């Protein structure tokens, strides 16, 4: 089965610019997650969707970050405007359902560098 797809794989922008990341989860997976992984740290959940509804966005910096999952399949994460501290790998993951026992499957990530 195809895995979680993400694009682009790498992105370099200057601070105050905007950037968007795309994720296509595994077919049939209802739950989609966006994580931020800063160098030397573990992944931190930014937002979790169940179908096209938001389950948890408590750690999403809503003044600059936004995410959507229209139609409950693929998703985009946007940063506007970017700051230097947003440099990180942005991981997308999906699972069959949102409960705590479901295995999450991760994509390859998008490495963002903000100059």
Partner 1 sequence: AQSVSQHNHHVILSEAASLELGCNYSYGGTVNLFWYVQYPGQHLQLLLKYFSGDPLVKGIKGFEAEFIKSKFSFNLRKPSVQWSDTAEYFCAVNHPGGYQKVTFGTGTKLQVIP
Residues that bind partner 1 (CB under 8 A): 3-4, 40-45, 48, 50, 55-56, 91, 93, 98-101, 103-109
What's the closest the beta carbon of residue 92 comes to partner 1, in angstroms?
A: 10
Nearer of residues 36 and 82 to partner 1, judged by Cβ: 36
Q: Please, which residues have CB within 8 angstroms of residue 109's CB and are 6 or more apart in sequence?
A: 6, 9, 37, 89, 90, 91, 92
Q: At closest approach, how far in Å is the CB of 28 from partner 1?
A: 18
Nearer CB in complex with partner 1: 13/98: 98
Whole-number minimum distance, CB 81 to partner 1, in Å?
A: 27
H helix and E strand count, the chain? 0, 11
By beta-carbon proximity to partner 1, the closer residue of 28 and 100 is: 100
Beta carbon of residue 86, minimum distance to partner 1 (angstroms, whole number): 19
- Of the pair 17, 37, the CB lying nearest partner 1 is at 37
């Amino acid at each position: 089965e195809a895995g979680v797809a993400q694009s682009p794989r790498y992105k370099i922008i200057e601070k105050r610019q905007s950037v968007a990341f795309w994720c296509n989860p595994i077919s049939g997976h209802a739950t989609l997650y966006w994580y931020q992984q800063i160098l030397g740290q573990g992944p931190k959940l930014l937002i979790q969707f169940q179908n096209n509804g938001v389950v948890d966005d408590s750690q999403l910096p809503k003044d600059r970050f936004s995410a959507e999952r229209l139609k409950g399949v693929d998703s985009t994460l946007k940063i506007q405007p970017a700051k230097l501290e947003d440099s990180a790998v942005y991981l997308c993951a999906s699972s069959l359902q949102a409960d705590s026992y479901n295995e999450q499957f991760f994509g390859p990530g998008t490495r963002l560098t903000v100059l």
